[in-house]
Amino acid sequence: MNFTPIVRDILSKYESDNPGTKANLARILMQGRLGGTGKMIILPVDQGFEHGPARSFSVNPSAYDPHYHYQLAIDAGLSAYAAPLGPLEAGAGTFAGQIPTILKVNSSNSWATSIDQAVTGGVDDALRLGCSAIGFTIYPGSEDQYEMMEEIREMSLEAKSVGLAVVMWSYPRGGKLDKAGETALDVCAYAAHMAALLGAHIIKVKPPTDVLWQPEAKAAYEKANVDKSTLAARIKHVMQATFNGRRIVVFSGGEAKDLEGLFTEIRGLRDGGANGSIIGRNTFQRPREQALDMLDKIIGIYQGKM
Amino acid sequence: MNFTPIVRDILSKYESDNPGTKANLARILMQGRLGGTGKMIILPVDQGFEHGPARSFSVNPSAYDPHYHYQLAIDAGLSAYAAPLGPLEAGAGTFAGQIPTILKVNSSNSWATSIDQAVTGGVDDALRLGCSAIGFTIYPGSEDQYEMMEEIREMSLEAKSVGLAVVMWSYPRGGKLDKAGETALDVCAYAAHMAALLGAHIIKVKPPTDVLWQPEAKAAYEKANVDKSTLAARIKHVMQATFNGRRIVVFSGGEAKDLEGLFTEIRGLRDGGANGSIIGRNTFQRPREQALDMLDKIIGIYQGKM
Amino acid sequence: MNFTPIVRDILSKYESDNPGTKANLARILMQGRLGGTGKMIILPVDQGFEHGPARSFSVNPSAYDPHYHYQLAIDAGLSAYAAPLGPLEAGAGTFAGQIPTILKVNSSNSWATSIDQAVTGGVDDALRLGCSAIGFTIYPGSEDQYEMMEEIREMSLEAKSVGLAVVMWSYPRGGKLDKAGETALDVCAYAAHMAALLGAHIIKVKPPTDVLWQPEAKAAYEKANVDKSTLAARIKHVMQATFNGRRIVVFSGGEAKDLEGLFTEIRGLRDGGANGSIIGRNTFQRPREQALDMLDKIIGIYQGKM
Amino acid sequence: MNFTPIVRDILSKYESDNPGTKANLARILMQGRLGGTGKMIILPVDQGFEHGPARSFSVNPSAYDPHYHYQLAIDAGLSAYAAPLGPLEAGAGTFAGQIPTILKVNSSNSWATSIDQAVTGGVDDALRLGCSAIGFTIYPGSEDQYEMMEEIREMSLEAKSVGLAVVMWSYPRGGKLDKAGETALDVCAYAAHMAALLGAHIIKVKPPTDVLWQPEAKAAYEKANVDKSTLAARIKHVMQATFNGRRIVVFSGGEAKDLEGLFTEIRGLRDGGANGSIIGRNTFQRPREQALDMLDKIIGIYQGKM
Amino acid sequence: MNFTPIVRDILSKYESDNPGTKANLARILMQGRLGGTGKMIILPVDQGFEHGPARSFSVNPSAYDPHYHYQLAIDAGLSAYAAPLGPLEAGAGTFAGQIPTILKVNSSNSWATSIDQAVTGGVDDALRLGCSAIGFTIYPGSEDQYEMMEEIREMSLEAKSVGLAVVMWSYPRGGKLDKAGETALDVCAYAAHMAALLGAHIIKVKPPTDVLWQPEAKAAYEKANVDKSTLAARIKHVMQATFNGRRIVVFSGGEAKDLEGLFTEIRGLRDGGANGSIIGRNTFQRPREQALDMLDKIIGIYQGKM
């Protein structure tokens, strides 16, 4: 597994990390069909926690089985598979060493009365399950945002000391934020920036709209003539906002749309310089063959072939 | 004690657990009259904590004595006996090694001002008392649900590291949930799923009604044509929702009913593929002979003889 | 698994132990074909460590496989299987819960230059592997005997705190002892007594000869007219020397002999009140069918049928 | 690096600190163009956390890159560079040993619903990143002020035990305070005093106005005829309020103003005996050449040349 | 990276290990040109510790640079690279994730006055350096053998708990053993067996000669007609002695010989069922191109092509 210059370059930007963490980042960057390109596609399956099993899996009942997702991620040539504790415990033995895994260490659910998540896994779990990273969601803007940041601070420190990587899902939500604000360009860039400030290795945010939500930010954007006319331009700004490209940033799919809409969006992500995508529901909520076909096309887009 | 293929198959699904935990799961699966069938009946006696002694035991005063329950579980050929710290301390010496025990490590009471439980036991207690598992109740949906999940996360990690199994009672309650919601099919499946996501080895939920509570879930169930016409169909769905049968799920008795109603319900659980029942009040709130007779019939149902 | 009066009586003598330790003793006492009789047969396979693999297994090559011994102990209806770390790791998953295991936590080998053993396992290993006990060899009389005693003191304390039982192999050896002394009646009784003094739950010694080795002891035995005319009489004395029967004592086979000689010896052990036998080489150094046949007969002797 | 008498004198005032902490204070005091003068200029870049990336950096896009700030601080001959975890991780390897760094260990953001900050870094991080100090913001007067003080108490203790220095940003805010009060002379002096009381080695406050906010304080100031007619006089009072000059105090820039206004203010700080300035936005929100020019002039002022 | 049946089968034999350890074993088994075959070649570079730098590297001065060995192992398509702390620290950043590494955690040197090794690395080092395994040498037979076994016992437990694999070099040496004995068949098989008993995942021994050293062993071998006529037959016996093939065993090169002699030996290892080779001096003590050529041929042999 000789590294490509692009992977070598990305790893060189994690200059404070020990070789163990770099090795785990490298595993993700070298895995699957995008291995070596600096791009990645991660399959996250935490919808069951967030929306319950039936809303997540009844449309494609094979997906009730934790092994289904491991196998799908492997067969599709993806870069990593992310899930909470239980599903990893249910498959980590069978699939040990076949694909890098990310233990999602906090989780919310549909019945929550606060905008927060429970810590449901830890660094010790990640080590015993052979994971390459822990994953943590923060809700910048929520009433509980500082507690969440303090939780991930402690877990990050521990993870980094034992050679694991840290993935942060940064989802602005709650508090003063309204629905339009959650995906506004200034808010998305700010959320990505905060994850970088908190020491994340890989940052996951939503693709931003062209809304500018905070009045003071709007003024700054307009003064600086930040281009927000296309998705690619907005993604480029988000990459800039995360240490000018020194951190890996991946994007979730935006609003529900048809496949052509999704592919168009992926092209925008690619053209803006995103490191890749995290694609959950769009993957496991369609039949396996269709999912493999869709992922094949997305990989093609990131490879620049489509 | 040569294992049956069904027990071997169940154990093989706990692929991340150490042999110590597997041995304790095996002890429960091989104990009593259902030993080797993959089915189990657990006697839980934590009613005293929840409803006080008189409401729990005055109808059958022998049940005030902790030894009574041990002996009853043994004589009836049950699979395990679950109780809080005190009652186990009061009988664990006398009955050491005679029946697997589950230390219920959190407990609520009737006077509580929040929907939460106190942690009243721990892994060290379970080891010194010779227990095979710890048991923990979560109340998904309550204001304190995240703290409860964080408590069991830590205790699970510790329990698994010393070879104990983890049983979770998952009872949706509080917050946005109303009474009908607590036992709705979507809610019950979601609650069971969350326990699986949290890493439970054995999951205990209530038998679901045919209500669909959350509007978004209702839409998903209807779109996917999930059969909810019979209890067996609903149980089958709950089993599917807990990793497609990769985790042991047992059910409490539903609403108060006569014995025939109970037996009919047990047949529904069995036909839906449940791993068994947890039967507390129905057992110890009737005279011993009647309880033994009732349990004999329930065992017969799970054995497929009735 | 209702206990017999004899098992209940034995357990009652371990009055300072927690229920966890009692449960593990009970598991051994209730296992296999001698379950409930107060007698036990343990299969120990640490010959590979002591004498090397070929001297141990080449006569019956199936015995090179750690699974062979697990299966043999189960199929023969024995009470427990004892082995060092590696063989238990190699089979504890497959055979989890099928037979109580004893982790031999120290080991010697043929090339040793001192009369000592290395600590090669621990209480944490025993828990994760689902063992019921740790086993430890002391060499009373050797230059290193005090260090060995101090090692087992610490490990015993830890084992007892987490509900494990402690088995001690007490083999007088080295120092002032000569070959005849090692198996002399006074020495054997003294060795068994020291293990009891050190807090062992189960003590393993060799069947004593009628030699009296220490002059001062000889005087005492003669003064008190201790009967040493038969093996049964000598065993009775050893049982007396281990807290007058308050501790479980099992015996290894003596010198190599034919099967009839072995059965005669077992009858002597039984008649003297021994709790049973530890039979290693005699078991795995003959073909499986012959071993099963031999063990069947030994079980018959302990059951009083032969 | 032979120390000047003034540096020696300053260090002598930290008489309870261990040599490790003194060495780190010395590194800051001996660094850059003000090295040896007892004066210092610190570049803080935590605006991204407080105001988001675009409001902070879009006016000078090079500043999106964490390396930019390190290099600017080095090239300008500043004394130290302060930033949150992420930016230090992104540059600490490249710039290791080139300039003292201060890990800002707590951080707020624009969307906060309380006047508080999240702990986002720690002493372990500061050590592994080679920092000379930790920096912490307190908001005296806010609802959460006591929790913040308790947080820094614990972190200070830990920092001092491992030879790090402690910098406190003391910003009166929230609670009973109004806008005018936040920068009033009595409030500013009180805030600086509290940081000294809490054990800070270096204290950062805003330059005070001539407002006296608290009636009781006003009475005292008037009774004692405290001179507040000039900035220099007010700074002199703040220095007095921080142990009569026994602690290093640096000041942020006041309200937005033109460069001449800024230089005038710096002269006031100098003449009042301040130990220096912390200058963030004024530095990185203008093109690099202009920033270097501005800093050159400020250094000149502190050197007494302008 | 879908696994081959042979890799799946090997991993299934480590039935007590957590998925983390299995993943690290899988990484070694899937790496390089032998990935997926169940065979492996490991490059060990600890000669500098044992014999000093000039005796190790002066014949091929490029080998003084730790990066040389990493690159050679990668370019040759080997399975893993093993070295002490310093060389791994010197290259683990550059080569992070490119080849599995084994941290050799104990080391001897030429000036030693005892037959022992110093512990020179640990599990924490292995994690921060991204290693897949720790490696440890025992000298069965030496005066210090028990202390060595106790050291690896503790380190193994810790390594396994955090998902690392354990490699043991088992070299009989010292005490009663003479030179011929060190490589005798009975001694080699015993040494391999002891490493398996101690819980090693991968065992490294020397290819045995046809000498039988210990008289008691000689008798057993002759009685059992153990075939020792060819190297393949002897290797087969060693594999049998390590849990009948349940553990991975690799062999060092034997006595100095020409390349043809080496290739013949490798064929013997292959035909006897060895899992592969550890080849140090033969690799780095010849020019890089020659080394690559030699390794290419050895890989060809293990692939059954030569």
What is the ipTM score, two decimals? 0.95
Would you call E22 and A127 a contact, using CB atoms and an 8 Å cutoff? no
Nearest to A197 among D64, D87, D122 (CB): D87
> Active site residue: C68, C70, C171, C190, which one?
C171
pLDDT band at A1 (very low <50, low <70, confident <90, very high): low
Burial class (CB in 10 A: 0-12, 13-18, 19+), C48: buried
Residue D113: exposure state from Cβ atoms within 10 A (0-12, 13-18, ≥19): middle
Backbone region of residue C152 per phi and psi (left: phi > 0; alpha: psi in -120 to 50; beta: other values): alpha
Taking the CA of residue E11 and the nearest CA in chain B, the distance in Å comes to 12
Whether residue E2 is predicted with pLDDT greater than 80 in this model: the reply is no
Residue C306 pLDDT exceeds 90: no
Q: Do chains C and E touch (3 or more CB pairs under 8 A)?
A: yes
SS3 of A178-228: CHHHHCCHHHHHHHHHHHHHCCCCEEEECCCCCCCCCHHHHHHHHHCCCCC
Q: Cβ separation of C98 and B2 shorter than 8 Å? A: yes
Are residues E150 and C118, on separate chains, in Cβ contact within 8 Å? yes
Q: Which of A68, A70, A139, A171 is catalytic?
A: A171
Contact D90 A13 (CB under 8 A): yes
Q: Is residue B1 scored above 60 in pLDDT?
A: no
Q: Please determine, for residue E1, whether its predicted confidence score (pLDDT) is greater than 60.
A: no
As a dihedral over the C-alpha atoms of residue E204, residue E205, residue E207, residue E209, rounded to 10 degrees, the angle is: -170
Q: Do chains B and A touch (3 or more CB pairs under 8 A)?
A: yes
Q: Residues of chain B whose C-beta is under 8 A from some C-beta in C?
A: 1-3, 11, 18-27, 29-31, 74-75, 88, 92-93, 96-99, 124, 127-131, 161-163
Distance CA B45, CA B71 (A): 13
pLDDT at C235 > cutoff 80: yes
- Closest residue in B to A61 (Cα) is B240
Question: What pLDDT was estimated at residue D253?
Answer: 78
pLDDT at D238 over 90: yes
Q: Could you tell me the CA-to-CA distances from B283 to B37, B255, B279, E219, E301 in Å, in that order?
A: 22, 14, 6, 66, 69
Res. D3 pLDDT band, cuts 50 70 90: confident
Answer whether A touches E (≥3 Cβ pairs < 8 Å): yes
**What's the CA gap between D81 and D104, in Å, rounded?**
10
Which two three-digit tokens encode residue C288?
């499986």
Residues of C engaging E, defined by a Cβ cutoff of 8 Å: 48-49, 51-55, 57-59, 61, 64-66, 84-94, 107, 109-114, 116-122, 124-125, 128-129
pLDDT exceeds 90 at position C108: yes
Confidence at residue B253, expressed as pLDDT on a 0 to 100 scale: 78
Report phi then psi at D261, rounded to 5.
-60, -40
| d(CA C47, nearest CA chain E) in Å | 11
| Among the partner residues E23, E30, E161, nearest to A130 by beta-carbon distance | E23
Q: Which chains touch D (3 or more CB pairs under 8 A)?
A: A
Chain E contact set for B16 (CB, 8 A):
18-19
Q: Which residues of chain B have a CB within 8 Å of the CB of A87?
A: 196-197, 243
Q: Is the per-residue pLDDT at D231 higher than 90?
A: yes
DSSP 8-state class, residue A155: H
H or E segment and range at residue E241: helix E231-241
- Residue from B16, B187, B188 whose CB has the most chain A CBs within 10 Å, to mutate: B16
By the 10 Å C-beta count (0-12 exposed, 13-18 middle, 19+ buried), B65 is classed as: middle
Distance of CA B1 to the CA centre of its chain: 25
pLDDT in tens, E29-50: 999 999 999 999 999 999 999 9
Is pLDDT at D38 greater than 70 in this prediction? yes
- Token readout for E193 is 């067996």
pLDDT of residue A3: 81
Mean pLDDT of C59-86: 98
Region A114-121: mean pLDDT is 96
pLDDT digits (tens, 9 = 90+) for B143-181: 999 999 999 999 999 999 999 999 999 999 999 999 999
> What average pLDDT does range B206-234 have in this prediction?
97
CB contact under 8 A, B130 and C99: no
Binary contact (A1, E97; C-beta < 8 A): yes
Query: Smallest CA–CA separation between E19 and chain B, in Å?
Result: 6
> What is the share, in percent, of chain B residues with pLDDT greater than 70?
98
User: How many beta-carbon contacts under 8 Å exist across A and D?
Assistant: 136
User: What is the arithmetic mean of pLDDT over E95-112?
Assistant: 96
Chain E positions in Cβ-Cβ contact with residue C61 (cut-off 8 Å): 224, 240
| Chains near C (3 or more Cβ pairs under 8 Å) | B, E
* Chains touching chain A, criterion 3+ CB pairs below 8 Å: B, D, E
Considering chain C, what is the average pLDDT of its residues?
A: 96
Contact call for residues C127 and B20 (beta carbons, < 8 A): yes
What does the pLDDT average to over C150-163?
98
Question: In sequence order, what are the residues at sequence separation of 6 or more whose Cβ sits closer than 8 angstroms to the Cβ of residue E138?
Answer: E145, E148, E149, E152, E168, E169, E170, E171, E194, E195, E198
DSSP C167: E
First and final C-alpha spacing in chain E: 27
Mean pLDDT, residues C288-303 = 98
- On whether the CB atoms of residues E255 and E266 are closer than 8 A, the answer is no
User: Which one from C39, C204, C228, C236 is the annotated catalytic residue?
Assistant: C204
> Which of A3, A23, A92 lies nearest to residue E19, judging by beta carbons?
A92
Query: pLDDT-derived band of residue B254, with 50, 70 and 90 as boundaries?
Result: low
**Residues of chain B that touch chain A, judged by Cβ-Cβ distance less than 8 Å:** 13-17, 140-143, 145-147, 149-150, 153, 157, 172, 175-177, 186, 189-190, 193-194, 196-200, 214, 216-217, 220-221, 223-224, 226, 237, 240-241, 243-244, 246-247
Pick from B15, B176, B241: CB nearest A64: B241
Q: What is the mean pLDDT of chain B?
A: 96
Residue E70: closest CA among E50, E104, E99 = E99
Residue C240: pLDDT band (50, 70, 90) is: very high
pLDDT bin (cut points 50, 70, 90) of residue A255 is: low
Q: What is the pLDDT of residues B95-129, one digit of tens each?
A: 999 999 999 999 999 999 999 999 999 999 999 99
pLDDT surpasses 70 at E68:
yes
Work out the minimum CA distance from E176 to partner chain C, whole angstroms: 7
Q: Which of E68, E81, E171, E221 is catalytic?
A: E171
Q: What is the structure's pLDDT at A257?
A: 75
What are the CA-CA distances from residue A150 to residues A189, A198, D117, E85, E244 (Å)? 21, 10, 10, 34, 51
pLDDT at D23 over 60: yes
D interface residues, A as partner, C-beta within 8 Å: 48-49, 51-55, 58-59, 61, 64-66, 84-94, 107, 109-114, 116-122, 124-125, 128-129
DSSP single-letter state for residue C30: H
One of E204, E206, E228, E236 is an active-site residue; which one? E204
Q: Token pair of D227, please?
A: 């001179």
Question: How far is A26 from chain D, CA to nearest CA, in Å?
Answer: 17
Residue D301, both tokens? 């002022």
Of A22, A160, A204, A228, catalytic: A204
Q: E269-283, pLDDT tens digit by residue?
A: 999 999 999 999 999
Task: Name chain B contacts of C24, Cβ cutoff 8 Å.
Answer: 97, 130
pLDDT at residue E306, as a whole number: 84
Determine, for residues B22 and C99 on separate chains, whether the beta-carbon distance falls below 8 Å. no
Report, as an integer, the average pLDDT of E244-259.
88
Compare all CA atoms of chain A with the CA of B202 and give the residue at the minimum distance. A86
Give the model confidence (pLDDT) of B31-84 as tens digits: 999 999 999 999 999 999 999 999 999 999 999 999 999 999 999 999 999 999
pLDDT reading at D254 higher than 80 = no
pLDDT, residue C2, reads: 64
- A89 contacts on B by Cβ (under 8 Å): 14-17, 199
Residue percentage of chain D with pLDDT more than 70: 99
| Residues of chain A neighbouring B189 (CB-CB closer than 8 A) | 52-54
Rounded mean pLDDT of D292-296? Answer: 98
Q: Please answer yes or no on whether A15 and D116 come within 8 Å at the CB atom.
A: no
> Which among A182, A226, A243, A249 is the top mutation candidate for probing chain D, defined by the most D β-carbons within 10 Å of its own β-carbon?
A243
d(CA B234, CA B230): 6
pLDDT digits (tens, 9 = 90+) for E169-196: 999 999 999 999 999 999 999 999 999 9
